[in-house]
Structure formats: structure tokens, C-alpha cells
Amino acid sequence: MITVFDVGNTNIVIGVYEKDRLLTHWRVRTDTQKTSDEYGIMVSSLFNYEGLSMRSVAGAVISSVVPTLMAELVAMSERYLGCRPLVVGPGVKNGLAIKYDNPREVGADRVVNAVAAYNKYGGPLIIVDFGTATTFCVVSGAGEYLGGAIAPGIKISTEALVNRASKLPRIELNMPKSMIGKNTIMSMQVGVMYGFVGQVEGIISRMKKEIPGRPKVIATGGLASIIADETDLIDFIDENLTLEGLRMIYDLNRG
């Protein structure tokens, strides 16, 4: 088995693979205050809950956008999983040609998503990841990572609105039943949710004008299904895209 870690600013998604089959996965809160032992005990508990043995783990791979956690997670993997993890970053083979001005600036999560999407769906592609930030990544038909866009995520945008406007309450991120809000909460839901639908459609439409061919659009991340239901521009929803990309990169580098 191999264990994959997708470390985001808000959550860490942990997956366990047997060859190319995802056995299980968990989503836990990112906590930069936790030590390697605390993470190790948590991972051990998750394995035990699913009836899995940590001794059966042959390798691990980590993609992280939280640099301060990397040393703790590497130490956790070495002590509790018994292996030094592959850390996605410069020098790690991914099979793509990175055409960014400075390839080292591309977030590991964006590279991992691009690897998975290109191998699963072919190119050209636009990948939209609804995470702490909403990211848009473009991959050419020849497997070149061309770049993309980064926008504030839905949750942090909503939090900013609530924190800066004292009379506005926190809301659930659900699609409203009407475009005309009849109360404050519904009005906020209209503005936030359909505002993001409009943002996604606008960026995708403009990107397509600059991409040769007919790019497919892949959505991933926690709110992907909610947004995708409101637009015809998203072709596929792939909730485990990042985990799949981590597995692929591990397989590419393990030799």
C-alpha cells in the first residue's frame, strides 16, 4: 500500500492506495501547531478505524501548500509509516512540461491536479479546483502546463464579507431557490454563490478563446459539485483528482 497526503491551507486529505485502487480516504483539519507525533497518532487511529495496518505501507507521497508543516509530516511518515515520503516539488518527475515563467512558483497541488487530469482525460484541459483558493490550470494537448488563474475561494470570500460588514450573518454555502433574495441570508447566498458561478463561467470562457482545440473542463474540490450543477461549462467532476495525481507521481518516481 501507499499513503498519499494532499496538504491544503484548510484541510489535509489522506488517501490509501493498493496499486491503483483507492481503498479509503479521510479529510482532517490542517493544524500547523500539531507535532509529528500528534499527526502520527491521528493517522494511526484512522488506519485502525478502517482495519488497515500501517506496517503494510510501502511508500508515501506528500503534496503541500503549507511549508511550515512539511518537516513534521516527513518526520511522522518516517516514524509511523516506516518510510521517507516523496515530496512533490522541483526535481520530482511529473511527466509535464511546465511553461510557467518560473516553474518553481507553481503550487504542488496545481501540478498534481494537472498530472491526474491529463493522464485521465487527455488534453487540452482546464482544471478548476474549489479549495481555499479557486485555481484554474490550463494544460495543452501536448501535456504542457501553460499556466492559469488564482482567485479567492468561496469560503474565505464569504468570511471576509461577514468580518467586514458587522450586520451580516454567516451563511451556509447553498444555492438559493430564487435569484431575488427575500431576506438577508438568501440575498447573501444569491450574491456569493451565483457570483462565483459567474466568475467561473467568465474565466473559463475567456481561457477557451486562448487555447487551441476544444478543451475539456474538469472540476475538483469540496464545492465542485454545487457550482458544476449551475453551469454547462464544466464537463467532469472528479472529487479524487488530487489523490490520483499523487499516486501517479509516486509511481513515476519510485523506480
pTM score of the predicted model: 0.91
User: What pLDDT is attached to residue 237?
Assistant: 96
Cis peptide before 124 (omega within 30 of 0): yes
Q: What is the pLDDT of residues 177-211, one digit of tens each?
A: 899 999 999 999 999 999 999 999 999 999 999 99
Q: What is the DSSP letter of 56?
A: G
Superfamily of domain 2-87: ATPase, nucleotide binding domain (3.30.420.40)
Mean pLDDT of 220-226: 89
Look-up of cell digits 490550463? 138
Q: What is the pLDDT of residues 119-159, one digit of tens each?
A: 999 989 999 999 889 999 999 999 999 999 999 999 889 99
Q: Is 82 exposed, middle or buried, given 0-12, 13-18 or 19+ CB atoms closer than 10 A? A: middle
Strand ranges, E, within the chain: 2-7, 11-18, 21-29, 59-64, 86-87, 97-98, 125-130, 133-139, 144-152, 216-221, 236-237
Phi-psi region of 160 (alpha: psi -120 to 50; beta: other; left: phi over 0): alpha
The CATH fold of domain 97-245: Nucleotidyltransferase; domain 5 (3.30.420)
Measuring CA to CA, which residue among 73, 3, 2 is closest to residue 34?
Answer: 73
Q: What is the pLDDT of residues 87-120, one digit of tens each?
A: 999 889 999 999 999 999 999 999 999 999 999 9
Q: Taking the domains of the chain in order of start, what are their residue ranges?
A: 2-87, 97-245
Catalytic residues: 109
